[in-house]
Amino acid sequence: MSKSQTILDLSECIKLARELDILGDYEKALSKYQTALNLVTQRKSEVSDSSLKENWGQVETLINNEIKMTQEALKFAQTFQNNDETRLERAKQEEIRNQNLMRNNQEQKNEIQYDPKWERFGGMRPFEIWEKDEPEDPKERDPDVWSPPKVKPNNRGFNRGRLVNYDPNAAAKAQAGKGQNPKGKDTGKKGGKEEEDRKKGKSAFYLHYYPNGEGPDGELIEMIEREVMERSPNVKFDDIAELEEAKITLKEAVLLPLLMPDFFRGVRRPWKGVLLYGPPGTGKTLLAKALATQGKTTFFSVSPTTFASKWKGESEKLVRILFEMARFYAPSTVFIDEVDALGQKRGDGDNEASRKVLAEMLVQMDGVSGKLDQEDLSVEELKKNIVMVMGATNLPWDLDEALRRRFEKKVYIPLPNSVGRREMFRINTKGLEVAKNIDWDRLVLKTEGYSGADIANICREASLITMREILKRTGGRIDFTLIRDHPSFVMKQLQAPVTQSNFDEAVKYIPSSVSQSEVKKYEQFRDEYSNK
């Protein structure tokens, strides 16, 4: 057979086999793959050039891999076929849709032009089918085959890396070399294409802070915008079970001043800070997010333990820029989780640095409320200056004395009562298939003393127990290849209603995370500080 005829037949065969694979007709797909394999083996025996022989050998391996995956899929499908024909059929249909979507997406993503060099591999795009077998050693890779599609550089010119990569001194070092002042305003390079390029992709706040599009804290600003700021956290009060008293207090303390800034002037000025305290996992963060969503404020969420470890010695700068940004994007909510950790001495003995952060926080909180005290501000100006500071803590007694005073309003967020727990079961089983005969009252009774996070964990665990039971019925074997290649098909097979015994087992497995003595401690704090 001629080379071109082999390639044509091969392409056709592989295409057909894959389509049959997607349609779930694994038996027919296998027969097509076999024909393709025969063609390749024959062609390999015909060519004499050793490098061509090797290439055909690679094609052979790849087809064999696809055959193996199809055989696995066939086996897996057969284990379910006897149990539930219709479910399998539905799963297959869904799988087809997903596979088609994935392929379309992949094709758009790759945006790669056909390269005639690939002719020698039967006209197939190498990266598309050989990704899985790419040699680990780059030297062993054929550059024609293994060179990845080119990625367009991000127009901000830096990787969207995580906080870990942030070097607080990097920008300053770079700047020192250029002889620019810290605010980056007098470079003498105003105007021109260079400046235009620098400004491209920079946020409004960045350009407000560094009008020429560059400065030593640029990276820090972009990081805060990326990691700390959320335009709208999209949490509704209805997503939060019960806590009616806290919701009313918070709406009055936080939402009304946003809606009627003019009314909340002088003696009625908004609280300097609102503290949510109580056992962990009771909805403090959810409440802060719901307030930010409903009040349409820009939401900034930070935790001192995170930023202290990432910005050693620079944390107070982070606090300063954070508040400056919050004022710029006002009305805003600055939410500080684990606020008790502010100003505390940490394990590394860097007490001086943590005191500096605390001092900066106190200054900023005073600054925010001081601005709102100005009587000559118009309503519009007032709105533009509203920055609500909210803190959350599980250890209110550890809070620094001066900081505690700044949090003028303190709201206790207790463990959920029976109404709250029932509601939490409802919220957390929303997307789950649950048996019709669940005795919810019994579960609510059994979970007395549990937090919202504990109940979320119980629901998660109960649904996983269901999955494990199904896996056990299929021999307990986890087929990672099938999961990787046909995720939604496998997902469908593993779904079954969560039963009462699954929930009972999960409750036994997950103890409540808060003890009675801890609850007493919170109540003592409430009695002592609620109005102080």
Contact positions vs ligand ADP (CB under 6 A): 240-241, 243, 280-286, 392, 424, 427, 452-453, 456
Residue placing its CB nearer to ligand ADP in the complex, 221 or 276: 276
Name the residue number minimizing CB distance to ligand ADP: 452
* In the complex, minimum distance from the CB of residue 241 to ligand ADP, in angstroms, rounded to a whole number: 4
Is residue 503 within 8 Å of residue 438, measured between CB atoms?
yes
The kind and range of the H/E element at 401 are helix 401-406
Residue closer to ligand ADP by CB (options 117, 426) is 426
Residue 336, C-beta contacts closer than 8 angstroms, at least 6 positions apart: 302, 303, 304, 342, 361, 389, 390, 391, 392
Pick 242 or 314: Cβ nearer ligand ADP:
242
Minimal distance, residue 316 CB to ligand ADP, in Å: 25
Rounded distance, CA 488 to CA 25, Å? 17
**Least distance from C-beta 497 to ligand ADP, angstroms?**
21
Distance CA 329, CA 231 (A): 9
**What's the CA gap between 155 and 171, in Å, rounded?**
18
Q: Is 331 exposed, middle or buried (0-12, 13-18, 19+ CB in 10 A)?
A: buried
- Kindly list the distances between the CA atom of residue 472 and the CA atoms of 85, 210, 215, 439, 494, in Å, as whole numbers in the listed order: 20, 60, 59, 26, 11
Query: CA 218 to CA 182: how far, in whole Å?
Result: 11
Compute the least distance from the CB of residue 279 to ligand ADP, in Å.
7
Q: What is the DSSP letter of 498?
A: B
In this complex, which beta carbon is closest to ligand ADP, that of residue 284 or of residue 310?
284
Question: CB 287 → ligand ADP: shortest distance, Å?
Answer: 7
Please, are residues 114 and 125 in contact by the beta-carbon 8 Å criterion? yes
In the complex with ligand ADP, the residue whose CB is nearer, 175 or 285, is: 285
Residue in this structure with the two tokens 């700390």, named with its chain if needed: 228
CB of 391 to ligand ADP, least distance (A): 11
- 18 vs 289 by CB, closer to ligand ADP: 289
Q: At its nearest, how many Å lie between ligand ADP and the CB of residue 18?
A: 41
Would you say 316 or 337 has its CB closer to ligand ADP?
337
Neighbours of 189 (CB within 10 A): 13
Q: Which is nearer to ligand ADP, 91 or 253 (CB)?
A: 253
Q: Which is nearer to ligand ADP, 122 or 281 (CB)?
A: 281
How far apart, in whole angstroms, are the C-alpha atoms of residue 313 and residue 357?
A: 9
Contact 224, 325 (CB under 8 A): yes
Write the single-letter amino acid at 306.
T
Number of helical (H) and strand (E) elements in the chain, helices listed first: 25, 6
CB of 523 to ligand ADP, least distance (A): 16
Q: How far is the CB of 253 from ligand ADP (least distance, A)?
A: 17
**Nearest approach, Cβ of residue 280 and ligand ADP (Å):** 4
CB nearer to ligand ADP: pick between 280 and 313: 280
Q: Cβ contacts of residue 10 below 8 Å, gap of 6+?
A: 36, 39, 40, 59, 122
